[in-house]
Amino acid sequence: MNNKLLIENLRAIPDFPRKGINFRDVTTLFKNAECLKIMLDELEELYKDKGITKIVGIESRGFVMASALAGRLGCGIVLARKPGKLPSTVIKESFSKEYGVDTIEMHIDSINENDVVLIHDDLLATGGTAKAAYKLVENFHPKKIYMNFIIEITDEGLHGRDLFKDIDLTTLMVI
């Protein structure tokens, strides 16, 4: 979709969190009411007729749009969090990132086989975090899984989308 206003308001921070990484900071989109509305309107249009019953927001920037969209779609939200943040029994998945290894967790009662799930995060780069979230959701055997990202990064030789060849995956911007 690559909306001009979104592109203009997206901040890039070179060498963060380590040298060689060009970090895309979506908080500049979140603080702009017009950008926030554009993103939410586009997400609602993409998913309003999909029967979504749960949106999995990935920590932490994924929580923002997942929560807002869940309100519009009338569905629940499930948090995929870093270890030790969820108070009840969890399932977990570890993954490699471009700058280390990490783990995400979800409550074991988050999703059931009747759910239609949308996994949402701020960006898709190498795909490690998203793949871990997808594996977690698969454990629940929902009816259908969709994936969405605000940004898909391809300009740095990153190919995260390649991990999801048979999955319905959308992005709002490709850079």
Element (H, E) at 159: none
- Nearest-CA neighbor of 55 among 83, 26, 79, 37? 79
Tokens 């995400």 belong to residue: 104
Catalytic residue of the set 61, 93, 105, 161: 61
Tell me, yes or no, if 98 is annotated catalytic. yes
Distance (Å) of CA 116 to CA 54, 77, 104:
6, 12, 20
Asked whether the beta carbons of 105 and 91 are under 8 A apart, the reply is: yes
Tell me, yes or no, if 156 is annotated catalytic. no
Catalytic residue of the set 45, 98, 138, 156: 98
Which spans in the chain are helix H? 4-9, 27-30, 33-47, 62-73, 128-138
Token pair, residue 1, equals: 């979709």
Separation of alpha carbons 113 and 19, rounded Å: 43
Which spans in 48-145 are helix H? 62-73, 128-138
Residues noted as catalytic: 61, 98
